[in-house]
């Protein structure tokens, strides 16, 4: 099975970040930040990061224009201005980005998608990109300093967080499957973390 990782740069020191990549033999970082700069950790500004990774023999590829989460197009937004991940997954630039990832994996690159949030659960790399990848047969694992967390485990966290808002199968609703509950939970998470084109807040 094809596999891909994700990581959030947070405020890790450069050496610590590189160590995490080395631990899992990552040789390619794909930056999925819409704005590839950090207010709190300048070592992750696009040009600086690309240079530091190159020194360590790690490729840097910017794909925030294809797989980022910041959109202003009204056709891609909920009524309240938040980005609708399902609509984004249907557009050609996003699908072109996915195709490039699949091609890279097939060529033997060990890829980690990178965004800023330490917690994948709070980031579009989980709710937008990884959700789509898993549905298309790619195994996704999220890198933390002390562990690797599978997409499936985060989906269980998703179900737990939104359990009171999700329908349950019963005598009158026998068609409520786990698959449907996860789908609905992803939508709720989307609403909670997505960038808002009106307020300019939320996941970038």
Rounded average pLDDT over 150-166: 97
Give the contacts of 49 (CB within 8 A, at least 6 positions apart): 29, 31, 36, 43, 60
Domain ranges across the chain: 2-193
The span from the CA of 80 to the CA of 77, in Å, is 8
| Per-residue pLDDT at 2 exceeds 70 | yes
**What does the pLDDT average to over 163-188?**
87
Is the distance from CB of 12 to CB of 20 less than 8 angstroms?
yes
Report pLDDT for 171: 66
Q: Which CATH class is domain 2-193?
A: alpha beta
Q: What is the pLDDT, as a whole number, of residue 175?
A: 82
Task: Enumerate the β-bridge partners of residue 114.
Answer: 7, 31
Pair type for strands 147-150 and 138-144: antiparallel
């Amino acid at each position: 099975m094809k596999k891909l990782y994700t990581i959030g740069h947070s405020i890790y020191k450069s050496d610590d970040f590189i160590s995490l990549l080395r631990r899992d033999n990552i040789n390619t970082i794909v930056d999925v930040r819409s704005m590839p700069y950090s207010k709190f950790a300048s070592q992750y500004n696009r040009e600086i990061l690309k240079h530091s990774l190159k020194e360590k023999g790690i490729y840097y590829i910017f794909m925030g224009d294809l797989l980022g989460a910041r959109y202003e197009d009204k056709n891609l937004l909920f009524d309240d201005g938040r980005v609708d991940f399902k609509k984004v997954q249907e557009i050609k630039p996003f699908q072109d980005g996915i195709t490039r990832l699949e091609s890279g994996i097939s060529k033997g690159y060990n890829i980690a998608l990178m965004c800023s949030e330490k917690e994948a659960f709070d980031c579009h790399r989980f709710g937008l990109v990884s959700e789509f990848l898993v549905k298309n047969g790619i195994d996704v694992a999220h890198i933390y300093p002390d562990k690797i967390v599978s997409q499936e485990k985060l989906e269980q966290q998703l179900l737990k967080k939104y359990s009171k808002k999700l329908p349950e199968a019963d005598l009158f609703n026998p068609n409520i499957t786990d698959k449907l509950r996860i789908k609905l939970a992803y939508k709720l998470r989307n609403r909670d973390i997505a960038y808002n084109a009106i307020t300019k807040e939320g996941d970038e």
